Amino acid sequence: MAGDSRIDPDEWRLRDESRGAPPRGARQLTAILPNGRTVWLHADAPLAPAAAADHLARLSDDVAERRLSDTVALRRSIERLASSVAGETERAERAWLERARAFRRRIVAADIKLDERISKARDEFRARLDKQLKSDDENIRRLCRRDLWDKILIATALPLFAAYGRRGDLFDSNNLTLVASLLVFLIGDEVVEAIFGSDRPSSAFAVQDADIWSYLAPVANIAASWWLLDDQQHQRFITGITEVQLVKVRAHATHGRIMYHYRAEIDLKRQVAPDHVADFETFADVPAVATVQSIEWSGRARPLRPRVERLAAKVEAGTLKLTFFVVPERPYKRRPYPIDLGAVRIAWMVDTDQPTRRAQGN
């Protein structure tokens, strides 16, 4: 026990002997603590007998010998397995090489046969492609020629629509006539060919080449439109400038004012198309406007400082009637008032459209 002051009789014997490990089977141990104090540990029984330790050593030697024998046997087995695996691997590699060579020979033979088929198909395709390209080139040339003459036809038709077409009414007879004429000369040859040319052998080209019809179509369209519509009224509004001489009219007093009353008539039949004159004479409430463009007062009229008032325009039976008053701002010092005041230029515009159709358009 630690701290026991009494010393066992064997202590002195152990001290005198070597200070190494206590003899085998000793029951008392001596330990020196870090603080320098010596303690004695006493065991009731030995930890293991010497016979058991000898038996354990012999058993450990036997196990080591058996393990060595097993290791040698295992190494020999591994060597035999490695030799067998190497042989099998070599045989498998030779068999794989033989199969690869046979497969390569089959691939080469199939490639040669496929190359021959592809070469033959390529030559046939090139021949068909060259033929098709030549046909397409000719179709493009034909299409360009037809497109050029069709554009020329449409370009020559635009002035006809501007001259003879009627705005505001898409289905007017003039517009329909122009469209029908354009379509006849634009696709008339193809329609005739489709209807009456079915017995002819089919052409190798997809587009029909330009012919005499295409070359004459622009001129023929202009001639046909002029022949059909030239005598009709194709301008809705007619305008003009009329000079009215301010002469031979005496001044008269109206509501305490001195006034000159003038009238002028303009025959519109000369400016209306011949086919439209008969209808135009029957129109009522024809819109017409007029305005003073310029005035040239005479020397005797300038002191009066006159002005034009109450200018009115009215159409009756195809005749435009203009009425207006000249009113002096200053009184004339002498009597009578002058009858030669100069001249007035009046600009006017008349709507020639039919009133009922005009109302529908509005």
**Tokens for 346?**
């009046």
Which of the four pLDDT bands, split at 50, 70 and 90, describes residue 103? very high
Closest C-alpha among 291, 177, 296 to residue 234: 177
Instruction: Give the angle 278-279-283 at the CA atoms, nearest 5°.
Output: 125
Q: Residue 107's pLDDT band (boundaries 50, 70, 90)?
A: very high
Query: Residue 238: CB partners within 8 Å, gap ≥ 6?
Result: 268, 271, 272, 349, 350, 352
Task: Report how far residue 325's alpha carbon sits from residue 349's, in angstroms, rounded to the nearest whole number.
Answer: 20
pLDDT band for 360, please (50, 70, 90 cuts): very low
Q: Where does residue 220 rank: exposed (0-12), middle (13-18), buried (19+ CB within 10 A)? A: middle
Report the C-alpha gap between 185 and 221 in whole angstroms: 7
CA separation for the pair 322, 344 (Å, rounded): 12
Tell me the mean pLDDT in the region 330-339: 70
pLDDT over threshold 80, residue 88: yes
* pLDDT band at residue 50 using 50, 70 and 90 as cut-offs: confident
Per-domain boundaries in the chain: 9-42, 237-361
252 pLDDT above the threshold of 50 = yes
Question: pTM for this structure?
Answer: 0.45
What value does the mean pLDDT take over residues 77-98? 89
User: Is a pLDDT exceeding 50 seen at residue 15?
Assistant: no
pLDDT score, position 292: 87
The mean predicted confidence, pLDDT, of the chain is 77
Q: Looking at the predicted structure, is the pLDDT value of residue 4 above 50?
A: no
pLDDT of residue 200: 53
Higher pLDDT, 211 or 7: 211
Residues 166-215 pLDDT 10s: 776 777 777 888 888 888 878 776 766 666 655 555 555 655 656 677 77
> Percent of the chain scored above 90 by pLDDT?
4
CA distance 85 to 78: 10
Pairing of strands 306-316, 288-297: unpaired
The tens digit of pLDDT for each residue in 305-316 reads: 888 888 888 888
pLDDT digits over 255-310, tens only?
Answer: 667 788 888 888 887 877 777 777 777 888 888 888 888 888 887 778 788 888 88
Structural contact between residues 338 and 300, judged by C-beta atoms closer than 8 angstroms: yes
Report how far residue 307's alpha carbon sits from residue 259's, in angstroms, rounded to the nearest whole number. 10
Helix (H) or strand (E) holding 338: none
Burial of 157 (0-12, 13-18, 19+ CB in 10 A): buried
Per-residue pLDDT at 232 exceeds 70 = no
